[in-house]
Amino acid sequence: MAKDSAQRQAQYRSKRPYAGVDGNGERRINTWVSTGCALALARLARHKGDDPAADHRAIDID
């Protein structure tokens, strides 16, 4: 029997904590940044030819 979209989404989300090459998974974070920071990230993404989300993932948060 085919899965509905809610079942597929639940399965996807259940696998995310263990995803990735090393099995350490991925974590979803939401944060606020200044407008200047957001615009700088967008410029960086355009310069590199990436999507803005790729640069957000590359941010090293201490």
CB-based burial of residue 49 (10 Å sphere; 0-12 exposed, 13-18 middle, 19+ buried)?
A: exposed
| Spans of all domains in the chain | 30-62
Asked whether the predicted pLDDT for residue 62 surpasses 50, the reply is no
Question: What number of CA atoms fall less than 13 Å from residue 26's CA on the CB side?
Answer: 11
pLDDT digits (tens, 9 = 90+) for 5-42: 999 999 888 888 888 778 777 777 778 888 888 888 88
Please state, as a whole number, how many other Cβ atoms lie within 10 Å of the Cβ of residue 4: 9
Distances (CA, A) of 60 to 6, 55, 56, 57: 33, 10, 9, 8
